[in-house]
Structure 1
Amino acid sequence: MHITFFSVWMTVLWSSILVLIYYVLRTKYELIDICSVSGVIVLYLFCMMRMVIPVEFSWTKVLFGGTLYNKIYYFFCIERNIGNDISVFDMLRFIWYLGAFLILLHYVIQYVKVARYFGDMPVQRNSKAAQIADTIWNGSKKPDIIQIAAVKTPCCFGILRKKIIIPDKLYTEEQLRFILLHECSHLKNNDILVKNLINILCAFYWWNPCVYLLKKDLNQSLEIRCDLTAVKELDLQLKGDYLAVILNEYKDSLKTGKSAGLRYDNPKLLLERFQLVAKEKCILVRKGIILAWIISICLLLISYSFIFQTKYEAPKEDIETEQNAYEVNTNNSYLIKVDDGTYFLHIQNKDIPVDEEGAQKMIEAGFNIIVKSEK
């Protein structure tokens, strides 16, 4: 198991193709109907896994990529353009690593700032919200419910020390329940961890637009899953009330560009959430999740099963290393078959004996054969 130029290229190729296919099918609802929303998330997570492990295994089959593939590899990796020491790929790799380091550093700094921002800010506890959260959260390590005037829309934060942050405004008990159902679902599913991982992945593959498409649609899928989890036991009237709360929070998020909660610059994403919540049939089925796991594992194994590599003919000077050593090909030699069944290779005005098995292989390779009555 090792990482090569070809294994990285196959990783980018496979992951990009899968992301594009999943995105098109997901936005047209075919993928959701087949695999469920949770299944779509599983498919995207396996795409992330493929990006994180750009390796070539010992059982990976090597395939010839073609003449154009040879030329591309020669231009990027073999031909030297700067001081005979640096290839195009060396320069691109340096830019890649430098960009990834700077973007990742910026992300870490911003994350630490947000953590300190919530940690140092004076807060107040909302006892009513805490009581509602107790009825929703069944596991241990219940999240802290914090009310802060600085945020305009509800959000959740923290991977180990989980917090649900709500704005400092009046909510009815029903509104609080809907909000907490949604945010608790994020925390139970470890969506904060997933979002941090996809941000790190975007930092590393910052030059690949398909990674940002993956981030966008994965975030949307996580929101849809939370919506469906929150309303799965509600009747039509309560579903409408839930969507009204989401819409009000969305409107509040538009009033400021510094909201800590989720903000949808594209209203179509919010409309899609509403449409899926309103669908009568259940799209959180367990069979879909199992099917998604099977599809993901199969595609993952297939993606590692072969790899395209270059293939070059050895230079003539590397073959003819001695004065009496010659390259044997169909242009400078031919076979002679004698009546007694023996074969000779004629090259450089010399006849060299060849066994029958070797002669048959040369005939299959296209060598001409001349039949002589005697030798």
Structure 2
Amino acid sequence: MMKMNNCVNYLVYNILKTVIISSISICILIFLKTFFFKKFSKKFNYYIWLIIIFRMLFFMFNYSVNFFTDTPQKYFLINNISNLNNNIKEEISISFFILLIFAIGTIIYLYCVLSKYLKFKDLIIDTSFEIENESINNIYHNLLSELNIKQNITLRYTEEPESPAGMGLFKSYILLPDLPYSADEVYWILKHELTHFKNKDILIKFLVVFIKGLYWFNPFVFIMSKKISIDCELCCDESVLNNCSLKEKKSYGMTLLKSIELSNITCSGLLTTEFNKPDLEVRLENIINQKGKSGIISGILIFIITSTSFLEINALETIHKNIPSENKADSEYLGLKFAETIDYTYETAPEKYRKMYEETCKVLGEIPRKSDKIEVSTKSNTTIK
């Protein structure tokens, strides 16, 4: 029972700690991206979010660093066992209640999003049909070879959504609207969608949804999600146009404009990548601009700084017949004096003190040992371990 309660408290503590750290990190990263990271590539600005995503995913991991290896002698008050037990139960009940609300919210959010996505995907796939146009199929297979994509991605025509899109984490599809696109326009559309798969953007979208499910109560996570969605498209545009001429960039931009013109921009947005996502002005500006710096060093520094949030540094001090910090406040509150005491070990202590000590160990989930020290205050007749 004690171990389970400690586990609940540990999870709640780490969740709350991660919420604070991630919220601050999101705000700092948005600030840096707005004022300092513009000189870096869109790829850097996109993948830098993964540092925060993984920090939030692995919230349960912490590493403690302790100074001083000597194990201090600990003395625990046992004259007020009933109050101690009540405090533990109260703390555990609150932690369990918080964890329960957290879990229920996560389950409800993920169920709503994933069930909606699966229904949408089934509808799209059921209404899609094979592409028999030999020219389009040749362009598609040549792009698979050009981008060195080994993944099995099915290309199909669709009437819904009206924008070119990619979807599917395990069984993947590229959906091309049956609209009057030229061969050049089909080339850019398919290259864009295949680049999304090459960059593992669908996987990242699923990770973001899972993060939103875990931290459904944190508004900063939803702000981060929108920023990641924009950066995803900008990164894809940059990757598609890498080493392209100005003429090719203009052709890509015109294809983007035509795709928006032909569709109604329904924005299905359910774990899919869409060619004509919003933020058109930003994307067109990004198409013309040259690729920025890689920003690898900055990324490494941010990763190192973020990794330190997993560490907890504990300064331990060897105690010689002093009450440690966790019990000192309680003893002072009770008005206890420790100047006049009698020291025993568990093996040599009188029976009544042994029983009191055993009760304390039972509450704390410990096993008495013969060498354990028991200190008895002669003034208040209070036994402490």
Shorter-chain TM-score above 0.5: yes
The structure 2 residue matched to 1:154, chosen from 161, 164, 173, is: 164
Note the alpha carbon deviations across 1:182-210, whole angstroms, 9 max, x for none.
Answer: 10100111100110110111011011111
Deviation at 1:124, TM superposition (A): 2.5
- Residue pairs, 1:117-266, within 5 angstroms: 117-125=123-131, 126-137=133-144, 138-254=148-264, 256=266, 262=274
Does 1 or 2 have the higher relative contact order (CA < 8 Å, sep 6+)?
A: 2
Deviation at 1:9, TM superposition (A): 2.5
Say yes or no: does 1:49 pair with 2:54: yes
The structure 2 residue matched to 1:95, chosen from 89, 94, 101, is: 101
| 1:314 match: secondary structure | helix
Letter of the aligned partner of 1:135 in structure 2? N
Of 111-120 and 16-25, deviating more is: 111-120
Match of 2:71 in 1: none
Residues 184/49 of structure 1: CA separation in 2 closer, same or farther (3 Å cut):
same
- Residue pairs, 1:267-278, within 5 angstroms: 269-278=279-288
Residues 311/39 of structure 1: CA separation in 2 closer, same or farther (3 Å cut):
farther
Flag structure 2 segments of 5+ consecutive residues without an equivalent: 1-6, 68-83, 315-324, 343-377, 380-385
Match of 1:364 in 2: none
| 2:64 match: secondary structure | coil
Q: How many equivalent pairs are there?
A: 304
2:174/2:193 contact within 8 Å kept: yes
Residues 178/157 of structure 1: CA separation in 2 closer, same or farther (3 Å cut):
same
Letter of the aligned partner of 1:114 in structure 2? F
Residues 129/313 of structure 1: CA separation in 2 closer, same or farther (3 Å cut):
farther
1:37/1:224 contact within 8 Å kept: yes
Letter of the aligned partner of 1:115 in structure 2? K
Output the CA distance in 2 between the equivalents of 1:99 and 1:221: 28
Question: Identity across aligned pairs (percent)?
Answer: 22
Match of 1:73 in 2: none
| 2:329 match: secondary structure | coil
Output the CA distance in 2 between the equivalents of 1:102 and 1:87: 22
Output the CA distance in 2 between the equivalents of 1:27 and 1:249: 29
Note the alpha carbon deviations across 1:199-231, whole angstroms, 9 max, x for none.
Answer: 111011011111112211111111111101111
| 1:141 match: secondary structure | coil
Say yes or no: does 1:6 pair with 2:16: no
Deviation at 1:322, TM superposition (A): 9.4
Deviation at 1:55, TM superposition (A): 3.2
Deviation at 1:22, TM superposition (A): 1.4
How large is the RMSD of aligned CA atoms in angstroms? 3.7
Residues 204/55 of structure 1: CA separation in 2 closer, same or farther (3 Å cut):
closer
Residues 279/257 of structure 1: CA separation in 2 closer, same or farther (3 Å cut):
closer
Of 127-136 and 180-189, deviating more is: 127-136
2:195/2:240 contact within 8 Å kept: yes
| 2:195 match: secondary structure | helix
Question: Could you state the TM-score of these two structures normalised by the residue count of structure 2?
Answer: 0.68
Say yes or no: does 1:320 pair with 2:326: no
Flag structure 1 segments of 5+ consecutive residues without an equivalent: 63-77, 327-347, 350-375
2:42/2:234 contact within 8 Å kept: yes
